Structure 1
Amino acid sequence: MPITIIPNAAQCNKLTDDGPVGRPLSQPPCRTSSLRVALEGAGENRTGLWECTAGSYERQVPEAEVMHILAGACIFTPTGGEPMRIKAGDTLFFPANTTGTWEIQEPMRKVFVILK
């Protein structure tokens, strides 16, 4: 089984432009980029790096997600909940069907695992 290493993932320049977010709340809309990492044995789970420019948008990932923030700062406000300040170094665990809004204050980069 191969092991993938992304040296200095916070500075990796191999991300691909994915365009604007699907449900922007700010203009211009946030833009995203990513690097998908194929992980043998992960089944349908998705893994990789993801980056987003400043702005705000609605979360629309229906699956459970684990993320570790490598760079940036933001506020996530879950639907019906209190705003949470998030910054580089934080690790988050989102249950499936978590909704809310992201306010990206500083361009954010994360490692993610989306669980199917």
Structure 2
Amino acid sequence: MTQTLRPLDIDATTLDAKPLAPPSAEPLSGAIEVRSRVEFTNEERTVISGVWESDLGTSRWEFLTRGEIIHIVSGAMTVQRDGEEPVELTAGSAAFFPIGWTGIWTVTEVVRKFYVVYK
């Protein structure tokens, strides 16, 4: 069966809310609330996909054991890989964070993304 998803149509109240914290990321600008829901995972849990939403804030991300592919469906954020220039992501942007990527994410407008994590 093919599973479909419309990330913008998901009511934020149906997402699980929690503070951003390790091992996902280290908040740098104080507490940051995130909301998410896993929509797909394979049996081995080497591929996980879903919807994630974040309030404003700056955090440090280290993709040491997993990678992530994202598609921003609303909002805006800036990502800056260590040693590189910042890149702005807005609705319609996609980005790849390969295993080994380390850097800073700054959410400047509440962001909602569709993500695929792989191990």
Render the CA deviation track for 1:19-69: whole Å, top value 9, x for unaligned. Answer: 233311102x21111110124577521110011100100013331211100
In structure 2, runs of 5+ residues without a counterpart are none
Distance 2:114 2:98 in 1: 17
* Residue pair 2:42, 2:48 contacting (<8 A) in 1 also: no
Residues 24, 40 of structure 1: alpha-carbon distance in 2 compared, 3 angstrom cutoff: closer
Q: Percent identity?
A: 27
In structure 1, runs of 5+ residues without a counterpart are none
- Structure 1 residue 103 displacement after superposition: 0.8
Report how many aligned residue pairs link the two structures: 113
Query: For 1:40-55, what aligned pairs fall within 5 Å after superposition?
Result: 43-55=45-57
Alignment correspondent of 1:10: 8
Distance 1:88 1:42 in 2: 31
Alignment correspondent of 1:70: 73
Write 1 or 2 for the structure with the bigger share of strand.
2
- Does 1:115 find its partner at 2:113? no
Distance 1:19 1:32 in 2: 6
Distance 2:118 2:35 in 1: 20
Query: Could you tell me the TM-score, scaled by structure 2's length?
Result: 0.84
| Equivalent of 1:81 in 61, 75, 84 | 84
* Residue pair 1:32, 1:52 contacting (<8 A) in 2 also: yes
Distance 1:56 1:45 in 2: 26
Report the secondary structure of 2:80's partner residue: strand
Distance 1:86 1:42 in 2: 31
